[in-house]
Amino acid sequence: MAENRRESRRQSGEPAQREALIAAGGQIDLARFREEADRIRQAGGLLIAADRGLEAFCALREAPDIAVGDFDSVSSEALAWYTGCEGFRLERHRPEKDQSDTELAFETAREAGVKRLTLMGATGTRLDHTLSNIHLLKTAEDLGLHCILLDGNNRIRLVSGRTVFYRERDRYPYISFLPLSEEVFPITLTGFRYPLKEYHMVLGAESTRCVSNEIEQEEAVLDFSSGLLLAVEAND
């Protein structure tokens, strides 16, 4: 199946992959995962499994285009199922390595010409892994990749300047902005329920000033010129 997709792209003369979905080893809402996988597949994008992310593809009974990692946390049942699959590339790495499996997937996507990434399975019960994956948003930006983390309740992305949010198009009623740098300034929020003008955010207690806002107008604008912010959109 994956090989057929790649062959059809070669025959049509389409350019290299520009968008990819990466499944990591955390909790994955399978309904949302199916939705994103279908969307990216239909757009001719790349499906990548990072180590235990293979389990999510196995649950859908579909092989990714590429699987990377040491696969030390993948069930024997999933590995046995993929042994009989064709049309996808498996890159096995040693467990003793400097990069995480998700970082390896990022590098694989970049080498394939991808510019936009959706990462699922990046959040879950392991808070250390969740925080580490959130910081990978900065790694993605340094690689020239636009990345979002997606789960059943949240969309998390890194913003580094003026950003427009749309009430009708976005499915998330709540939005928070949290610093990923020591300072972020001057923050101006327009079109939100709680507007703000030229606020100087400092990492720490003052960060709560931009938690749990809502888009009130058809378009809402976040504007700032220095620092890095996490935009956390939530549906609960």
- Mean pLDDT (whole number) for 196-223: 91
Can you tell me the mean pLDDT for 191-214? Answer: 91
- Does the pLDDT at position 165 exceed 80? yes
The whole-number pLDDT of residue 156 equals 96
Contacts of 58 (CB under 8 A, 6+ apart): 77, 78, 81, 82
**How far lies 208's CA from each of 21, 188, 201, 211, in Å?**
31, 15, 9, 5
Which residues on adjacent β-strands are paired with residue 158? 230
Would you place residue 13 in the very low, low, confident or very high pLDDT band (cuts 50, 70, 90)? very low
Task: Write down the pLDDT at residue 201.
Answer: 94
At 20-39, the pLDDT tens digits run: 999 998 889 999 999 999 99
- pTM metric for this prediction: 0.84
Asked if pLDDT for residue 74 goes beyond 70, the answer is yes
pLDDT at 49 over 90: yes
Q: Which of 68-77, 130-139, 157-166 has the lowest mean pLDDT?
A: 68-77
Tell me: pLDDT of 78 over 50: yes
What band does 96 get if pLDDT is binned at 50, 70 and 90?
A: low
Q: For 28-184, where are the alpha helices, taking DSSP H only?
A: 30-42, 54-60, 76-83, 101-111, 127-142
The reported pLDDT for the residue numbered 87 is: 73
Per-residue pLDDT at 72: 78
pLDDT of residue 189 exceeding 50, the answer is yes
